[in-house]
Amino acid sequence: MTENEQKSFEICFRFYAKWREITIETDRQWEDFAEDVGRLAGNLSAVPCPLGVHLLEAVLDSINDLYRNGMKPVAVDYFGRADL
């Protein structure tokens, strides 16, 4: 993996980890999410790497799937056990 590929992966991973831990329920949270997507795109544009574009799309598609048709994702560690 090149240095830029690694940086792109880390940037996208941090973004996904942050927003996967949060259940977005308010308009303000959606606004914060949108602002964070803008920052994510800016951070990835500073690291020229095609992988970053694909990871950005994958992360946003995955989050979209979690909220499709008004659904809300189950909270991470919902059962209170990390081994499940």
Q: Which pLDDT score is estimated for 77?
A: 65
For residue 47, report the phi and psi dihedrals to the nearest 5 degrees: -120, 90
Residue 56, amino acid: L
pLDDT of residue 74: 79
- In the block, which residue shows the tokens 């590929």? 5
Contact 52, 11 (CB under 8 A): yes
Q: Would you kindly state where each structural domain of the chain is located, as residue ranges?
A: 3-70
- The pLDDT of residue 24 is 95
What is the Cα 36 distance to its own chain's centre?
9
> Could you say which residues of the chain have pLDDT below 50?
none
